[in-house]
Amino acid sequence: MSHEQLPQGVSSRAVHGGERQQRLGDALTVPIYQTATYVFRDTQELIDFKEGRIDKGEYGRYGNPTVHAAERKLAELEHADEALLWASGMCAITSVLLMLLRPGQHMIITADSYRRTRQFCDSMLRRLGIEVAVVPPGDPQAVEAAVQPNTRLLFSEAPTNPYLYVVDLEQIVAIATRHRLRTMIDSTFATPYNQNPLDFGIDLVMHSATKYLGGHNDLMAGVIAGSTPMISALREAQGVLGGITDPNTAYLLLRGIKTFALRMQQHNANGCALAAFLETHPKVRRVYYPGLTSHPSHAIARQQMRGFGGVVSFEIDGTLEQTSAFIDALRIPYIAPSLGGVESLVEQPALMSYYELTPEERQRLGISDGLVRYAAGIEDTDDLLADVEQALKVCL
């Protein structure tokens, strides 16, 4: 079924996208094709396959029917020609950066990006002779000023982690067009429900499918979506690098995406309600949520996003210990990394992600002792608000 024939609604695409092909045994759900290799009826079929006359499986590292079904669905959600699943979000990012960049070249990444992405760029890419410039996410002038003759890629999250800055995608594309650069956006926090970077002219969009797409905190996967030529080249590289997704994970992802739109409605509602409540609370110093008019990226977010997600970052007016006491007093969210699942999760970045750094080093990175990242799940909004309110009373 072509893109033009598909239903246009996000929920319809989440349910039906990529699944209209005939299935083994006429099963309604896509089966788990638990196989490592594929057989050929005879030598002629093998030759026909090698010469491109037939399309079929060969070996598990080069593809799987369950995985391909999930990839087709993700491509529909992102308005992409194709999508490619990887073993994790970080596997997707690192593999693509290694494929797009060569020694002697240069890339630009916006600050406030996921710490592991920054760590890969700062250490491994530099070790390979690839230069990396870090620029503020809300400053297109700084982005353009960072472009060098050997620059090949602009990379940003939108929104960023943990302060939820939203880059202006149209400006990023305009800069890239002027300088003939590739563009890549990590849209994990936005999801295809709230934002489609490819519609703005971005070349590649990436998600940690572990988060909102899987939606149940029970799988790990990453996805890259884009044009057929780019995804085909990446698929060829994946056969060498080996960072594939297994069919069981792909099946869980397919099942999770069926309720993706419904879940995102509640994630968005909970995020907005939580941010609005926290912003008026006297014990909260500052709230970071692009749905608030007080956020520096609010105007851009309103222009290019349909919703603002379930992650709210905020700073408590207290010490490291008082912030920990607030988190311990919460009754609904679990203390854990990650986000985007049906269960609410909460973390204190100074301890969860930056524990090995000194307070001075954390401060230089903008990670205060009072910073909290709350990833709202799909629980009842009133219950989440009441829980946060009682925890603030207890700890401060």
Q: DSSP characters for 339-364?
A: --SSS-EEE-HHHHTSTTS-HHHHHH
Q: Which CATH number fits domain 10-258: 3.40.50.280, 3.40.640.10, 3.30.980.10, 3.40.50.2300?
A: 3.40.640.10
Query: Can you tell me whether residue 51 is helix, strand or coil?
Result: coil
Share of the chain above pLDDT 70, in %: 97
Rounded Cα distance, 347 and 365, in Å: 17
Mean pLDDT over 79-100 rounds to: 97
Set 61, 235, 283, 306: catalytic member: 61
The pLDDT, as a whole number, for residue 2 is 43
Report whether CATH 3.40.1390.10 matches the domain 260-395: no
pLDDT tens, position by position, 180-230: 999 999 999 999 999 999 999 999 999 999 999 999 999 999 999 999 999
With beta carbons less than 8 A apart as the criterion, state whether 182 and 135 touch.
Answer: no
Q: Do domains 10-258 and 260-395 have the same CATH topology?
A: no
pLDDT tens, position by position, 361-389: 777 777 888 899 999 999 999 999 999 99
Task: Kindly indicate the confidence band of residue 115, based on its pLDDT and cuts at 50, 70 and 90.
Answer: confident
With beta carbons less than 8 A apart as the criterion, state whether 323 and 283 touch.
Answer: no
First-to-final CA distance of the chain: 57
> Any idea where the domains of the chain sit in the sequence?
10-258, 260-395
Task: Kindly indicate the confidence band of residue 117, based on its pLDDT and cuts at 50, 70 and 90.
Answer: very high
Task: Kindly indicate the confidence band of residue 8, based on its pLDDT and cuts at 50, 70 and 90.
Answer: confident
Q: Is 114 a known active-site residue?
A: yes
With beta carbons less than 8 A apart as the criterion, state whether 203 and 177 touch.
Answer: no
Geometric angle at alpha carbon 236, from 230 and 237, rounded to 5°: 90
Residue 184 main-chain phi, psi, to 5 deg: -145, 130
Q: Is 211 a known active-site residue?
A: yes
pLDDT tens, position by position, 292-304: 999 999 999 999 9
Distances (CA, A) of 180 to 151, 157, 311: 9, 20, 34
Q: Is 61 a known active-site residue?
A: yes
pTM score of the predicted model: 0.93
Instruction: For residue 110, give the nearest of 140, 131, 141, 135 by alpha carbon.
Output: 135
Task: Kindly indicate the confidence band of residue 354, based on its pLDDT and cuts at 50, 70 and 90.
Answer: confident
Instruction: For residue 245, give the nearest of 69, 119, 22, 109 by alpha carbon.
Output: 69
- Classify residue 80 by its DSSP letter: -
With beta carbons less than 8 A apart as the criterion, state whether 76 and 17 touch.
Answer: yes
With beta carbons less than 8 A apart as the criterion, state whether 19 and 30 touch.
Answer: yes
The pLDDT, as a whole number, for residue 6 is 55
Geometric angle at alpha carbon 213, from 90 and 73, rounded to 5°: 105
Set 13, 72, 182, 211: catalytic member: 211
Set 168, 186, 203, 246: catalytic member: 186
